[in-house]
A = this chain, B = another copy of it.
Amino acid sequence: MADQHELRDKGLRLTPQRELVLAAVRELGHATPEEVAEKVRQTHPGINLSTVYRNLETLENVGLVQHTHLGHGGATYHAAEELTHLHLVCGVCGSVGDAPIEVAANFVNSLADDYGFKTDVTHFAVYGTCSTCFKPESK
Binding site for B on A (CB under 8 A): 69, 71, 73-75, 88, 90-91, 97, 99, 103-104, 106-107, 110-111, 114-121, 123-131, 134-135
Interface of A: prevailing SS: mixed
Asked if A115 and B97 make an inter-chain contact with CB atoms under 8 angstroms apart, the answer reads: yes
Asked if A117 and B97 make an inter-chain contact with CB atoms under 8 angstroms apart, the answer reads: yes
Shortest A92–chain B CB gap in Å is: 10
A110 to B97, CA, bound (A): 15
**Set of chain B residues within 8 Å of A73, measured between Cβ atoms:** 69, 73-75
Contact among B69, B75, B116, B125 with A130 in the assembled complex (CB-CB below 8 Å): B116
Asked if B103 and A116 make an inter-chain contact with CB atoms under 8 angstroms apart, the answer reads: no
Asked if B115 and A69 make an inter-chain contact with CB atoms under 8 angstroms apart, the answer reads: no
A91 to B60, CA, bound (A): 14
Contact among B116, B123, B126 with A119 in the assembled complex (CB-CB below 8 Å): B126
